[in-house]
Amino acid sequence: MTKPCRIVAVLGTRPEAIKLALVIHELRRRPAEFETAVVHTGQHRTMLDNALKHFKIKPDFDLDVMRPNQTLSSLTGRVLDTVENACHRFGPNMVLVQGDTTTAFASALAAYYCKIPVGHIEAGLRSHDIYNPFPEEANRRLVSVVTEIHFAPTANSRDALLAEGIPASKIVVTGNTVVDALRGLSQLPHSWEDTPLAGIPEDGSRLVLVTSHRRESLGTDQQNMCLALKDLVKKYPDIRVIYPVHMNPNVRSTINALLGDTERIHLTEPLDYITFVSLLRRCFMVLTDSGGIQEEAPTFHKPVLVLRRVTERPEASEFGLARIIGMSREGIVREAERLLTDKEAYQDMSVGGNPYGDGRAAERIVEAITRWHQGKMPLLEPEKEFHLPPKPTYRRRKTDIHEAAAAAPREKVRS
């Protein structure tokens, strides 16, 4: 019998915990095949610990690197050093990293320095602008250089990796693990008692869920967004903005200064995952610059206005479920108003279906690692990979109906 494959799964921020949780559970479900150590760099503290508690994951190593208002360089240095040390202690066959954070980048580099193969989950997302998102676009590309298996969530991300010369044999299309995490949440609470949302009047208002934390938006862009939110609540008395504010002190200072004490704008502490998802399910629409939230919202049929100039997650906008709206005050107001006032536009963006995954990403990732460890190829049979359903069956947009009508013989067209 082959020896179990030793895996180190590294996480450090809230989205990494949420997106790795089901992979860790899947690895631990198979103790004869895998010995898994969870390394928590501690890049985030409160926000990540909340997520780990929800998924009942106890880290084996806690590297405790977070410092208030940490710089990217000092953070990178601390993660590199401490993860290398953890690798020496555990001796893994593979180090798994997720996404584009400093934890992911520095851990992949540490593994490379120890000559340990890297498995990169959520590989191949590209905006093609190294300052948007910053520093995530560069982090993600740098991880690709030292990666042994690229777990690309979608065909788009696979194609981006192929275009960079990465061999097809090292890429597996898995779907995004965030959809797996949502699948485990069938029992969402109906009450917000004892949560930071308690006390928000349930008066039938339409709830606009807002989050924004990206480094490239700090300052003017975030100020514009705040002014736009104020314009919207002033003009639409039947809406309430709910904004769980990220713990980054540079985000907090702007948001609290401009939006604190504004009628019908509710600023809250970060929400635990289940409360956040229950809010996502109940809200009318989402304004966000978050990667994970863009990927989650289609599961709940919620239109997303993306508070960015570019996205490395184009699938939802390609399917008409999201729009990239930038960060100008006028643009944000205009796009939000369209959804608040135009029922057809709203319906067209809320047909749902999730183009990012089908809830089986963790299974595919673990099967591919098993085959890799056994020296088998391909890493996953092509028919087992994640495939999008073809567009017309996935959602029937008005434009598709019009195109079909235009293509049909004239006498058969009915109104």
Residue 29 CB, nearest distance to ligand UD1 (Å)? 27
Q: Is 244 in the site for ligand UDP (CB under 6 A)?
A: yes
Q: Which helix (H) or strand (E) holds 97?
A: strand 94-98
Q: Is 335:325 a contact under the CB 8 Å cutoff? A: yes
CA distance 147 to 112: 8
Q: Which stretch binds ligand UDP (CB under 6 A): 14-22, 29-37, 75-83, 87-95?
A: 14-22
Which tokens hold the place of 261? 């004490």
Is 246 annotated in the active site?
yes
Residue 408: how many other CB atoms lie within 10 Å:
11
- Residue 238 a catalytic site member: no
Angle at 320 between CA 340 and CA 160, to 5 degrees: 140
> Binding residue for ligand UDP (CB under 6 A) from 5, 8, 9, 14?
14
Find the shortest distance in angstroms from Cβ 121 to ligand UD1. Answer: 14
Q: Which of 34, 61, 243, 273 binds ligand UDP (CB under 6 A)?
A: 273
291 lies in the binding site for ligand UDP (CB under 6 A):
yes
d(CA 183, CA 261): 36
- Exposure pattern of 301-333 as b/e (b: 16+ CB <10 Å)? ebbbbbbbbbbbbbbbbebbbbbbbbbebeebb
Q: How far apart are CA 380 and CA 274, in angstroms?
A: 32
Asked whether the beta carbons of 351 and 391 are under 8 A apart, the reply is no
Asked if 136 is an active-site residue, the reply is yes
Complex with ligand UD1: residue 102 or 147, whichever CB lies closer: 102
Cβ at position 15, least distance to ligand UD1 in Å: 5
For ligand UDP, give the closer residue by CB, 119 or 133: 133
Nearest-Å Rg of the Cα atoms of the chain is 22
Strands 5-11 and 34-40: parallel
Residue 18's binding partner out of ligand UDP, ligand UD1, none, with CB under 5 to 8 Å set by partner kind:
ligand UDP
Catalytic residue among 16, 26, 136, 137: 136
249 binds, among ligand UD1, ligand UDP, none (CB under 5 to 8 A by kind): ligand UD1
In sequence order, the 6+-apart residues with CB closer than 8 A to the CB of 202 are none
Smallest distance, Å, CB 269 to ligand UDP?
8
Quote the CA–CA distance of 389 and 354 in Å, as a whole number. Answer: 10
Q: 40 or 158: whose CB is closer to ligand UD1?
A: 40
Among all chains, which residue has been given the structure tokens 């087992």?
384
Binding flag, residue 8, ligand UDP (CB under 6 A):
no
306 binds, among ligand UDP, ligand UD1, none (CB under 5 to 8 A by kind): none
Q: What is the DSSP string of 308-328?
A: SS--S-THHHHTTSEEE--S-
215 counts as catalytic: yes
Whole-angstrom Cα distance, residue 68 to residue 278?
30
CA angle 171, 136, 284 (to 5 degrees): 95
> Which stretches of the chain bind ligand UD1, using CB under 6 A?
13-15, 43-47, 68-70, 72, 75, 100-102, 135-136, 213, 215, 247-249
Q: Which of 6, 25, 183, 215 is catalytic?
A: 215
Out of 43, 102, 139, 211, the residue judged to bind ligand UDP by CB under 6 A? 211
Residue of 120, 126, 150, 246 marked catalytic: 246
296 binds, among ligand UDP, ligand UD1, none (CB under 5 to 8 A by kind): ligand UDP
Is-catalytic flag, 126?
A: no
Interface residues toward ligand UDP, by CB under 6 A = 14-15, 18, 178, 211, 244, 270-271, 273, 276-277, 290-293, 296
Catalogue the active-site residues: 100, 122, 136, 213, 215, 246
